[in-house]
Structure 1
Amino acid sequence: MPQVLSQSQIIRSLAQALEWYEKEMSWGVSSGELNHLTGRIGELYAAMVTRGQMALETNQRGYDVVSLNGERISVKTVTTSTHVTFRASTFDVVQRVMILRIVVDDDVVSIEEILDCPADDIRARGPGGDGNYVVYLGNLTSGLDRQNHNAPRSIDKHANVRDLKVIAQANHGSHKVMLYENGSILVETDGKLEDTAKPTLRKIAKEVGVDTLNGAGNPKNTRTLGSDIIKALT
């Protein structure tokens, strides 16, 4: 009998999958080699936000998640792809579509919602030349795509973090390490913001005796390393 997961089990599984993804990336594995893990992360995320269940049958036809409200959801999760394809032969059973992107921003992995809409919106576009439905991700600024099933839950990674509140900071020589209320770590050197914080953080960590590896022996991500440096300096 297939196992039904509780919401707490789904949330824990998603956290574990994201942690494993970060480990693989730290080992130098390319995102293209993590397709199975990428897909599982997307399915777990969709099941979490819809309070639903992942499809219980192996090779489930057409959809990946069933929401609490009974919607059959096809979930596509990408990293660098510029489009996704829905097979017309199985799309007839789909009621809702979610397209997600795995974002690795300065070695921190997060999930961005690109599109969440009724499947009928995709059908209304008509199939492509091969008879399947293709969604080009660069075109997701149209009115259709703005009328999402739910409001987007992701924040533009280029948003001005410096408009947020600094909740902790520390100085070391010409460097200032700042922790913002959204968890981001930024570093200034001689008053100029570093494009990427990690190299400077590694340098500071070596100088002040902060370990750059976590308890499992893997490199700390930017947020953890920055927070540990601030603690060591204050």
Structure 2
Amino acid sequence: MALTQMQIIQSLGEAMSWFEREITWGVPPTELRHLIGRIGELYAALITNGQMASEVNQQGYDVVSADGERVSVKTTAMMGASGHIAFNPNTLQFVDRVIVLKVNTEEMQIETLLNEETDKAKTFMRESSGNSGKLIISLSRLLNTNKLKKDVSTVNTVHKAPYTIKELENGTIEVYKGANHITPAKPILREVAEQLNLSILNSNGNPFNTRQLGSLIIRTLKAK
């Protein structure tokens, strides 16, 4: 039975809440692969106005878009630029579009690293150096490509020696020490919050994500 768009939205919200709860409890993302995969498929169905594939392990693809495109969805929670996404070359012939997503565990949001027709997506792929016969896309290439595409303005800048904290127009929080961009930002933000006597927990007792904590710090420093 096909899910309605509302049911997809509800399922995605529940899956994200479950994922955030597990991460808060200290469960590493590597132990949540099935949940991460489900989140990615639901999100891809949502943004394509489509449906999950009708059969479990449908050959090569996971979602069918509203336009009838067969979509292969790959989802990762790796935060660095190392690692890669693997594809089976024998099933790519059944795929019309490739979507690669990242669940950002700091922001608790889903980021699109690649959304291209299969022929274009193949230009990002190379053969694995092992004997697996897989085609792979390195995360560093996707992250660098997306970085080049973005020209996001800074809307807020505050200073708390020795750090500079910036809020971009898309809500991203960046922390610098001199000219050095520090990642991840959350440990520094927690350090600054402690100096400002700010709680790092929200009203439900859960830790603020990077954007929430960064925005709180910026508002506090601007008010001083």
Same fold (TM over 0.5): yes
Shift of 1:159: 5.5
Partner letter of residue 46 of structure 2? M
Partner letter of residue 112 of structure 1? T
The more displaced of 165-174 and 211-220 is 165-174
From 21, 34, 54, the counterpart of 2:32: 34
| Contact 1:186/1:193, CA 8 A, preserved across alignment | no
In the TM superposition, 1:128-207 aligns within 5 A as 134-138=134-138, 158=147, 164-189=152-177, 191-196=178-183, 197-207=185-195
- Closer/same/farther in 2, CA of residues 109 and 155 from structure 1, 3 Å limit: farther
Task: Report the counterpart of residue 4 of structure 2 in structure 1.
Answer: 5
Task: Report the counterpart of residue 110 of structure 2 in structure 1.
Answer: 110
From 51, 62, 67, the counterpart of 1:53: 51
CA distance in 1, matches of 2:175, 2:65: 42
Instruction: Specify the SS of the correspondent of 1:137.
Output: strand
Task: Report the counterpart of residue 211 of structure 1 in structure 2.
Answer: 199
Give a deviation string over 1:31-50, Cα, whole Å, max 9, x none.
22111111112211221222
Task: Report the counterpart of residue 84 of structure 2 in structure 1.
Answer: 82
Count of residues paired in the alignment: 210
CA distance in 2, matches of 1:229, 1:140: 30
Give a deviation string over 1:40-78, Cα, whole Å, max 9, x none.
122112212221111244x25323212112233332334
Shift of 1:218: 2.2
Aligned sequence identity (%): 35
- Closer/same/farther in 2, CA of residues 169 and 20 from structure 1, 3 Å limit: farther
CA distance in 2, matches of 1:66, 1:112: 18
From 205, 212, 221, the counterpart of 1:224: 212
Task: Report the counterpart of residue 149 of structure 1 in structure 2.
Answer: none
- Point out where structure 2 has 5 or more consecutive residues left out of the alignment: none
Instruction: Specify the SS of the correspondent of 1:29.
Output: coil
CA distance in 2, matches of 1:139, 1:206: 34
- Closer/same/farther in 2, CA of residues 82 and 213 from structure 1, 3 Å limit: same
- Closer/same/farther in 2, CA of residues 54 and 175 from structure 1, 3 Å limit: same
- Point out where structure 1 has 5 or more consecutive residues left out of the alignment: 142-151
The more displaced of 199-208 and 108-117 is 108-117
TM-score (norm 2): 0.71
Question: Which protein has the larger Cα radius of gyration, Structure 1 or Structure 2?
Answer: 1
Give the root-mean-square deviation of aligned CA atoms.
Answer: 4.0
TM-score (norm 1): 0.68
